[in-house]
Amino acid sequence: MHPLVELAKRSVEAYITRRETIGLLEDVPECMTGKAGVFVCIKKHGRLRGCIGTFQPTRECVGLETIANAISAATEDPRFPPVSEKELPELSYSVDVLSPPEKVSDVSELDPKKYGVIVVSGFRRGLLLPDLEGVDTVEEQLNIAKMKAGIAPHEDVEMYRFEVRRYT
């Protein structure tokens, strides 16, 4: 198991069983240093159970970003009730570390298998990670991101793309 995935798993288990937020060990692996946006997704029997993240860093390092977002994915995803202790053995985790978003001017610069997308209209913004099952076209990716942001399908948006390093 990749160290970031192990960290996400330990974070959720400590929080759900003891309401404890773990910290980082003294000698952290290089993958936990530096700053980046991080998404943590939790699945139960292959089905999404929670996914929360930040598209830009909000913490001192990737490790702390992973801890916070893992706990949020387990307890604050509005699509699901909080994870229960009895579910813990059935969960699997993935951690996506995001590259900085770059603005794009045309949909031809997007690819749903390679790039995640951020759409922005005023104060509303929606994000969709890349390479998601069932999302095969740029149009599907943009429509889902708009829907998440409460942006109508016909509304113009600013578009940003980003890449991820996905750890499972």
pLDDT digits (tens, 9 = 90+) for 52-110: 999 999 999 999 999 999 999 999 999 999 999 999 999 999 999 999 999 999 999 99
Query: Could you give the CA distance from residue 148 to residue 75 in angstroms, rounded to a whole number?
Result: 19
Residue ranges of E strands in 30-155: 38-44, 47-53, 91-98, 102-104, 116-121, 124-128
Digit-coded pLDDT (tens) for 128-148? 999 999 999 999 999 999 999
Q: Name the CATH architecture for the domain at 3-98.
A: 2-Layer Sandwich (3.30)
What percentage of the chain exceeds 90 in pLDDT?
Answer: 97
* pLDDT for the residue numbered 26: 83
| Confidence band of 12 (pLDDT split at 50, 70, 90) | very high
Averaged confidence pLDDT in the chain: 96
Task: Answer whether residue 25 shows pLDDT above 90.
Answer: no
Nearest of 14, 5, 8, 16 to residue 82 by alpha carbon: 16
Task: Answer whether residue 38 shows pLDDT above 90.
Answer: yes
Q: Name the CATH architecture for the domain at 102-163.
A: 2-Layer Sandwich (3.30)
Give just the sign of the alpha carbon dihedral 52, 94, 160, 135.
Answer: negative
* pLDDT for the residue numbered 59: 97
Residue 122 in tokens = 């005023």
Q: Quick check: do 3-98 and 102-163 share a fold? A: no
| Confidence band of 123 (pLDDT split at 50, 70, 90) | very high
Task: Answer whether residue 27 shows pLDDT above 90.
Answer: no
Map out the domains of the chain as residue ranges. 3-98, 102-163
